């Protein structure tokens, strides 16, 4: 039986509550390990540099930011599964069998993006940003701003690495086509360069390339993934009607 608009809103509310609950529980678990997580986030800094706070609430806010971000990473498989459960009724029966791969690869792609930012981009970016004035000035980092900057960078890369997975899903649904992506390829390069300049506001071309190149490569990879998805779609489905 077809769902009414009210039914869809009720279903969406349920999925949002489950996702929010999973995120809150995962964030609470991460909060218990906030000191270990903070040590991990401090690792890219020079050994002699410490983090400082300049307001009463700053340590608490920084702890909540760390816990909330870790909670997203931990709860991402369940959150993605709720997204899939919401859109699955509108998919073909053949397409629904991609549920488990989609959930796993979405969570994995986000984690890989976070790891890429932490282990590849930060070790090259931070020394240059902190060393512009050499020994002429001593750094006094705010823990709040430092944590916010790092988590923003890792979150952006996590979302960037979702492009191929989401591209495959949108292509299977029929929303995205490789032809359209090819038409906007030049614009995608321009947008990628602009985003890279915003994410790494330095004059160093190497750090700029660390962000720009993955963006362009991921876009090209998404085109390939969409083409593969379309090729599978042209072969036909055993069950051409949603059920």
Residues 39-55: pLDDT tens digits?
Answer: 999 988 887 788 899 99
Q: Is the per-residue pLDDT at 233 higher than 70? A: no
**What's phi and psi for 20, nearest 5 deg?**
-65, -40
Using DSSP bridges, classify how beta strands 51-52 and 141-142 pair: parallel, antiparallel or unpaired. parallel
The pLDDT confidence band at residue 64, using thresholds 50, 70 and 90, is: very high
The pLDDT confidence band at residue 91, using thresholds 50, 70 and 90, is: low
How far is 20 from 164, CA to CA, in rounded Å?
25
Q: Is the dihedral of CA 211, 177, 105, 88 positive or negative?
A: positive
Residue 243's pLDDT is what? 44
Q: Which two tokens stand for residue 185?
A: 């390829």
pTM score of the predicted model: 0.79
Q: Which two tokens stand for residue 59?
A: 């340590």
Residue 204's pLDDT is what? 63
The 10 Å CB-count burial string (b at 16+, else e) for 21-52 is ebbeebbeebbeebeebbeebbebbeeeeebe
């Amino acid at each position: 039986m077809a769902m009414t608009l009210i039914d869809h809103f009720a279903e969406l509310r349920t999925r949002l509550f489950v996702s929010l609950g999973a995120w809150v529980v995962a964030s609470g678990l991460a909060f218990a390990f906030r000191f270990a997580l903070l040590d991990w986030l401090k690792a890219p800094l020079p050994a002699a540099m410490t983090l400082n706070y300049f307001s009463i609430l700053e340590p608490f806010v920084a702890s909540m930011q760390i816990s909330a971000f870790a909670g997203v990473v931990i709860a991402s498989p369940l959150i993605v599964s709720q997204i899939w459960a919401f859109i699955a009724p509108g998919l073909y029966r053949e397409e629904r069998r991609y549920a488990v791969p989609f959930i796993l690869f979405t969570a994995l792609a986000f984690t890989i993006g976070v790891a890429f930012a932490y282990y590849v981009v930060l070790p090259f970016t931070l020394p240059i940003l902190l060393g512009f004035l050499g020994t002429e000035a001593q750094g006094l980092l705010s823990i709040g701003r430092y944590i916010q900057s790092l988590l923003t960078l890792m979150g952006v890369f996590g979302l960037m690495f979702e492009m191929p997975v989401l591209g495959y899903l949108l292509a299977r649904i029929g929303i995205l086509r490789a032809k359209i992506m090819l038409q906007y390829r030049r614009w995608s390069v321009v947008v990628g360069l602009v985003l890279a300049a915003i994410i790494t506001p330095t004059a160093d071309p190497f750090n700029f390339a660390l962000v720009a190149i993955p963006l362009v490569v991921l876009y090209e990879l998404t085109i390939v993934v969409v083409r593969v998805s379309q090729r599978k779609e042209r072969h036909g489905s055993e069950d051409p009607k949603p059920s």
